[in-house]
Chain A
């Protein structure tokens, strides 16, 4: 009996070292879903909080509402100037009845100016320490004002904003027009000595590029996706768009990669699992052949550091399906299939090389070649002495792509178009 009591006491003992201090009612919080940071006017930073009100239409079923149709999730937006993020949080907490909670924060938006002036280290990196913010929170660099971006950031009708953002960022792996970057990447990228930081680039589309009237397009099409967020010629849908990427050297933003370049970058990094590519038809250059590409093996990267300039050799192994052939030429036949394969290989090699040259200009190793190069060093001082990031702009790249067509889509054979004019 005495033994039993002792055991019981020792089992209950763990409870005396704790308490229910962390216990909170679930409704006591204001859940911040997105947060914007930019240069402030009356203080260093202007911080914007987007708080989801979890209105009836978004989550639960409003049985007393009588089903008044689908409304968008209601948001509350609070903007304030402050010297740091945490001081802003406490001031806002003092003014609203609930406590700001960052556990469900999905995106932090940084304005382009702030990034270009190299304030990331001061503003964002320290909050990695903050317990409420997850390291998986997505980071976006936005064109223009962050406040504007946050205000325009609305969920897909009937959905929660967090879900919309989650699903949007998933696209990075399957389309690859923008990278999926998190707070952890940001912190890592700023401090790392073997790769540079790259962040998602976003903007509010003001529909400036979309011209409703004018002459029909006559020129040659550019590579699809070769522009940045804010420049997409589209209308309707979400006001906010994510496209392309912002490249950093340290904490300073150096430039932007377009959507296509980002795609090439992710392909070379092995992060694009599958994605659509369009090449110009080798026999009819004005038409396109869209192909779905799958990266079947991780890219093989070899780096030769023996010479003055680092020599980088990248080998990609891809396969894909033909999505459509605008020209109607029978590329399905084994003889002609190689034409398409060669064309795509060349297309990709060229694309990667262009992107690489651009990054060399920015002096930013966003390809993460440094992570491969570092394996050749035994100690960290040796590596730091070598100064990879300094040598990167001088490096040379050789890309090899091995592409095979797996399936030709639902058509086995293309029959030529029938037209009376042609017959004559």
Chain B
């Protein structure tokens, strides 16, 4: 009996409970094919369809890998950031296309395999995913039906109007006649009404009709003026060429552009034009050349404004995707850092980059994030903020489930821990996942400083957080219900200060808390330089005159001010906001039922946040459930002792450093001087 009871309450380690991702042979096989090392061996031997498809993907990887290297060199040369874009051409693989080809050719089993696999995962206890299961399969079915030309009646999502023009584009291949191509382009880009898109017609070597298509303002003009048109229009351009279609010849011999890709489908071409690439159409060829030429105006790298630190890097992300990835790559100079690009919104074609360490990150996490991102079916995403809301586990939950950071060094450390980062065009923030409470609670300064200082700062921050969350509620409870708990002299001063106040306590308190929120919100919204001063002046004037007008008592202003300061210490903006909201809930609970109410409210808050998961990882992992950790929660141990990656991520490589990370310290007799496993 007792033993049975005990079993009920004893926490089972995650590994016993099936928390660790199961690795059935099929999957692990699949995983290993992801890895760069075994890739080439398999390429030659496999002949079945799914493998072929994978090989396609891998070729893409390889291509990207090369590109990355190019970029690195390029970057090294141009260390002062010039405004020209150094990007690459992304081949988008929209969901629709994949599914269509499945139906048409019976090929590409991979995508269906993928969804089945994800279903399997759900069955084997990966609870974080189960919620999406039904929706996902449903949407897949829907898409199949749409694309196979069946009736659209069952389309529950009501997005058929968006799908039809796309479908039209699907069918359109590049014609070998230049005139026809120009007509199609005019049709697609609504020329001549739309004046942004420029189609420049010319003749290659005075012989072959051709045209370049680009969007004014998105391209770096020098690429077209100096490196495209002069070379193509050179009378000797086609010297040594024989045959019908010169596209191969031009790509290899004439165009001195660093990235050129051949495409034949308008569905692929149009997004490239829209994102600032230049396309060359040549008469007589049913392909076109897509050249990298992005060169739009962008903001320079500046100090991160939301996550300032005293000791540490002072670079923040910008709105530009390429710059952001470069910033990360400059910190993680390793070939295992993989960047995958994905178009995440349908209409405004925003690109997001998925970053992870190939040899560290758990592939299940990567797959899950890919699954979520790929399944998005939305017209407009403006940046990481919207993306975060679309991929998080539970949208009803108060606390953030994905961390959004402005600092490349934080993203780099997340990547090295085995997390996955999503960098999105349009906002100077990167997302990292899965996260726990402690990721939201830490700053990059904690690990930059010596451990004593880091720990001290964290304790200060913890007290600040608790004050911001609990102080208003507790104060309400004390004043309204538990006057006996207040020391008499404090009681005296409260009574005296409250004598002229005409309102009930709770009205007075909410008034003050709300005014404080007004100051904060007003301080952000007010334009320009006024914003900085508004906060201080507003608080001073409001507080001082509210007291002298007899509207609030001075003791209350102290409480509100301390609460405000406490919430400023929370490093993550989303977490700070959720604490600010929870604070009002606790005030309500306190006003309703005193300390009892506050404790019930706190228990509810704890229960909800303990049950919350971020990509399958419970929010308070490493405390509840308890996992192995190298002392990096509130108290931070010395750096050389933190030799483990977070246990809950189940990384491929759990050790962060060798057995003796400080080689100069004589290790134990017989101990080795380092372990090459750790990076």
9 tightest Cβ-Cβ pairs between the two chains A and B:
A59-B492, A103-B484, A60-B496, A59-B493, A162-B488, A54-B492, A60-B493, A23-B480, A54-B495
The answer to the question of B497 belonging to the interface, with a C-beta cut-off of 8 Å to chain A, is yes
Number of interface residues of A (CB under 8 A): 32
Interface residues in B478-502 (C-beta closer than 8 Å to A): 479-481, 483-484, 488-489, 491-499
Q: Is the CB of B481 within 8 A of A22?
A: yes
Q: How far is the CA of A56 from the CA of B500 in the complex (A)?
A: 12
Q: A20-B593, A103-B483 in contact; A56/B496 too (CB < 8 A)? A: yes
Q: How far is the CA of A27 from the CA of B495 in the complex (A)?
A: 6
Q: Is the CB of A26 within 8 A of B488?
A: no
Stretch at the interface among B219-227, B257-265, B522-530, B596-604: B596-604
Q: Is the CB of B488 within 8 A of A20?
A: no
Q: Is the CB of B494 within 8 A of A18?
A: no
The answer to the question of A160 belonging to the interface, with a C-beta cut-off of 8 Å to chain B, is yes
Q: How far is the CA of A18 from the CA of B591 in the complex (A)?
A: 12
Q: Is the CB of B591 within 8 A of A20?
A: yes
The answer to the question of A410 belonging to the interface, with a C-beta cut-off of 8 Å to chain B, is no
The answer to the question of B592 belonging to the interface, with a C-beta cut-off of 8 Å to chain A, is yes
What residues of A have a CB within 8 angstroms of the CB of B483 in the complex?
24, 26, 29, 101, 103-104
The residue on A at minimum CB distance from B131 is A1
Q: How far is the CA of A52 from the CA of B496 in the complex (A)?
A: 11
Q: Is the CB of B504 within 8 A of A25?
A: yes
Residue contacts A-B, CB under 8 angstroms, 24 given: A11-B607, A15-B593, A15-B597, A20-B591, A20-B593, A22-B481, A23-B481, A23-B591, A23-B594, A26-B494, A26-B495, A27-B495, A31-B491, A52-B492, A54-B493, A58-B492, A60-B492, A101-B483, A103-B483, A103-B484, A104-B491, A160-B489, A160-B492, A162-B489
Q: How far is the CA of A337 from the CA of B202 in the complex (A)?
A: 120
Extra inter-chain contacts (15) besides given A29-B483, A60-B496, A163-B488, CB under 8 Å? A11-B600, A15-B597, A24-B483, A26-B479, A26-B495, A27-B499, A31-B495, A52-B492, A55-B496, A59-B489, A59-B495, A60-B497, A104-B488, A106-B488, A162-B489
CB distance from A31 to the nearest CB of B (A): 7
What residues of A have a CB within 8 angstroms of the CB of B495 in the complex?
26-27, 31, 54, 59
Q: Is the CB of A22 within 8 A of B594?
A: yes
Q: A60-B493, A160-B492 in contact; A14/B484 too (CB < 8 A)? A: no
Contact among A15, A23, A104 with B600 in the assembled complex (CB-CB below 8 Å): A15
**What does the 1/0 interface line of A10-38 toward B look like (CB < 8 Å)?**
01101100111011111101010100000
CB distance from A135 to the nearest CB of B (A): 12
The residue on A at minimum CB distance from B596 is A18
The residue on B at minimum CB distance from A106 is B488
Q: Is the CB of A54 within 8 A of B496?
A: yes
Chain A CB count within 10 A is highest, among B480, B488, B489, for: B488
What residues of A have a CB within 8 angstroms of the CB of B497 in the complex?
60
Taking residues whose C-beta sits less than 8 angstroms from the other chain, chain B's interface range is: 20 to 34
Q: How far is the CA of A106 from the CA of B492 in the complex (A)?
A: 14
CB distance from A158 to the nearest CB of B (A): 11
The answer to the question of B505 belonging to the interface, with a C-beta cut-off of 8 Å to chain A, is yes
Q: How far is the CA of A387 from the CA of B514 in the complex (A)?
A: 68
Q: How far is the CA of A134 from the CA of B484 in the complex (A)?
A: 9
What residues of A have a CB within 8 angstroms of the CB of B496 in the complex?
54-56, 59-60
What residues of A have a CB within 8 angstroms of the CB of B498 in the complex?
26-27
- Residues of A with Cβ closer than 8 Å to B? 7, 11-12, 14-15, 18-20, 22-27, 29, 31, 33, 52, 54-56, 58-60, 101, 103-104, 106, 134, 160, 162-163
Interface residues in B583-638 (C-beta closer than 8 Å to A): 591-594, 596-597, 600, 603-604, 607
What's the A-B contact tally at a CB cutoff of 8 Å? 84
Chain B CB count within 10 A is highest, among A19, A54, A56, A58, for: A54
CB distance from A159 to the nearest CB of B (A): 8
The residue on B at minimum CB distance from A73 is B492
- Residues of B with Cβ closer than 8 Å to A? 479-481, 483-484, 488-489, 491-499, 504-505, 554, 591-594, 596-597, 600, 603-604, 607
Q: Is the CB of A25 within 8 A of B505?
A: yes
CB distance from A195 to the nearest CB of B (A): 29
What residues of B have a CB within 8 angstroms of the CB of A31 in the complex?
488, 491, 495
Q: How far is the CA of A163 from the CA of B493 in the complex (A)?
A: 13
CB distance from B36 to the nearest CB of A (A): 43
CB distance from A215 to the nearest CB of B (A): 47
What residues of A have a CB within 8 angstroms of the CB of B604 in the complex?
11-12
Q: How far is the CA of A15 from the CA of B591 in the complex (A)?
A: 12
The residue on B at minimum CB distance from A62 is B496
What residues of A have a CB within 8 angstroms of the CB of B600 in the complex?
11, 14-15
Q: A104-B484, A134-B484 in contact; A20/B494 too (CB < 8 A)? A: no
CB distance from B267 to the nearest CB of A (A): 38
What residues of A have a CB within 8 angstroms of the CB of B594 in the complex?
22-23
CB distance from B264 to the nearest CB of A (A): 48
The residue on A at minimum CB distance from B497 is A60
The residue on B at minimum CB distance from A14 is B600
The residue on A at minimum CB distance from B603 is A11
What residues of A have a CB within 8 angstroms of the CB of B493 in the complex?
54, 59-60
Q: How far is the CA of A160 from the CA of B481 in the complex (A)?
A: 23
What residues of B have a CB within 8 angstroms of the CB of A106 in the complex?
488
Q: How far is the CA of A60 from the CA of B497 in the complex (A)?
A: 7
Q: Is the CB of A24 within 8 A of B492?
A: no
What residues of B have a CB within 8 angstroms of the CB of A101 in the complex?
483
Q: Is the CB of B480 within 8 A of A24?
A: yes
What residues of B have a CB within 8 angstroms of the CB of A134 in the complex?
484
Q: A56-B496, A103-B483 in contact; A160/B593 too (CB < 8 A)? A: no
CB distance from A163 to the nearest CB of B (A): 6
The residue on B at minimum CB distance from A17 is B593
Chain B CB count within 10 A is highest, among A25, A31, A58, for: A25
The residue on B at minimum CB distance from A13 is B600
The residue on B at minimum CB distance from A162 is B488
CB distance from B127 to the nearest CB of A (A): 13
What residues of A have a CB within 8 angstroms of the CB of B504 in the complex?
25
Q: How far is the CA of A22 from the CA of B481 in the complex (A)?
A: 6
What residues of A have a CB within 8 angstroms of the CB of B489 in the complex?
59, 160, 162-163
Q: How far is the CA of A103 from the CA of B498 in the complex (A)?
A: 19
Q: How far is the CA of A160 from the CA of B488 in the complex (A)?
A: 8
Q: How far is the CA of A163 from the CA of B490 in the complex (A)?
A: 11
Q: How far is the CA of A11 from the CA of B479 in the complex (A)?
A: 25
CB distance from A26 to the nearest CB of B (A): 5
Q: How far is the CA of A59 from the CA of B593 in the complex (A)?
A: 28
Q: How far is the CA of A24 from the CA of B482 in the complex (A)?
A: 9
What residues of A have a CB within 8 angstroms of the CB of B499 in the complex?
27
CB distance from A208 to the nearest CB of B (A): 33
CB distance from B104 to the nearest CB of A (A): 39
Q: How far is the CA of A15 from the CA of B600 in the complex (A)?
A: 9
Q: How far is the CA of A33 from the CA of B488 in the complex (A)?
A: 10
Q: How far is the CA of A323 from the CA of B484 in the complex (A)?
A: 42
Q: How far is the CA of A301 from the CA of B221 in the complex (A)?
A: 103
Chain B CB count within 10 A is highest, among A18, A101, A106, for: A18
Q: How far is the CA of A134 from the CA of B480 in the complex (A)?
A: 19
CB distance from A356 to the nearest CB of B (A): 39
The residue on A at minimum CB distance from B479 is A26
Contact among A15, A103, A162 with B592 in the assembled complex (CB-CB below 8 Å): A15
CB distance from A133 to the nearest CB of B (A): 10
Chain B CB count within 10 A is highest, among A12, A29, A101, A104, for: A104
Chain A CB count within 10 A is highest, among B494, B496, B499, B592, for: B496
The residue on A at minimum CB distance from B505 is A25
What residues of B have a CB within 8 angstroms of the CB of A27 in the complex?
495, 498-499
Q: How far is the CA of A19 from the CA of B597 in the complex (A)?
A: 10
Q: How far is the CA of A265 from the CA of B596 in the complex (A)?
A: 44
Chain B CB count within 10 A is highest, among A31, A33, A59, A163, for: A59
Q: How far is the CA of A35 from the CA of B481 in the complex (A)?
A: 24
Chain A CB count within 10 A is highest, among B480, B491, B498, B597, for: B491
Q: How far is the CA of A160 from the CA of B496 in the complex (A)?
A: 13
Chain A CB count within 10 A is highest, among B489, B494, B592, B604, for: B489
Q: How far is the CA of A58 from the CA of B488 in the complex (A)?
A: 11
CB distance from B366 to the nearest CB of A (A): 29
